[in-house]
Amino acid sequence: MITQKIFSGIKLYLMRHGAIETTEEKCFVGQIDIPLSLNGRKQSEWQGQQLRDIPFSRVWCSDLKRACETAAIVLRDRGLAILPAPELREIDLGQWDGMAMSQIRDQFPDIWQARGEDIGNFRPPGAESFADLQQRVVPFIRRIVAQSSDNTLIVTHAGVIRVLLCQVLEMPLSNLFRIHLDYGGITIIKDINGMYQVKAVNIYPVLLTTDNLT
């Protein structure tokens, strides 16, 4: 269990939403509003139990359905207000959102190659790049920290957490997919006089589901 004694003074608990309803074929999922799957709800309930003794001064979440639902389950019966924010949404994938990756790779091989060559700055048609996402997310989370007096829970998306970690660790966005984040996983960042320190990455629900293995 995550305890206050182990992680005293923690400012940010960043939780990836629980698993979502998906098809067998791997698709791009950005801001399309997909609900949690049964496993996603179970993961959220599990993390709610792990976090039940952690006092949070504020709770924020992406305003997409899967994040709002995760936050509501995690904080059930705690009487805490949940503050939804569009700034915490997943990356905007534009015309690619919801499309199968194999379809993009087969129909647009040149574009697919360009994506692989510069993953941080590449924008699908009508979409954001990860650099754009970082510029949207990091200032907003800094404002959250500035307004917080104690532990803060942020329920959001893998892309959001990855670009924040790249910023904190001064890691190029070209390496962001080296950070593995499971559905329902929690990353903990401590703010020490304005300097962020990563305390834990991807504390994930111990459930025997295939969602945690992909």
Report pTM.
Answer: 0.90
pLDDT for 196: 86
pLDDT, one tens digit per residue, over 31-83 is 999 999 999 999 999 999 999 999 999 999 999 999 999 999 999 989 899 99
Residue ranges of domains in the chain = 12-205
- In order, the DSSP letters of the chain are ---TTTTTT--EEEEEPPPB---SS-B--SSS-PPB-HHHHHHHHHHHHHTTT---SEEEEESSHHHHHHHHHHTTTS---EEEEGGGSPP--GGGTT-BHHHHHHH-HHHHHHHHH-TTT---TT---HHHHHHHHHHHHHHHHHH-SS-EEEEE-HHHHHHHHHHHTT--GGGGGGS---TT-EEEEEEETTEEEEEEEEE------GGGG-
The answer, yes or no, to whether residue 8 has pLDDT greater than 60, is no
Q: What is the mean pLDDT of residues 9-19?
A: 87
CATH homologous superfamily of domain 12-205? Phosphoglycerate mutase-like (3.40.50.1240)
Q: How confident is the model at residue 192 (pLDDT cuts 50, 70, 90)?
A: confident
The answer, yes or no, to whether residue 211 has pLDDT greater than 90, is no
Q: How confident is the model at residue 89 (pLDDT cuts 50, 70, 90)?
A: very high
pLDDT for 148: 84
First to last CA, the chain: 24
pLDDT, one tens digit per residue, over 143-171 is 998 888 889 999 999 999 999 999 999 99
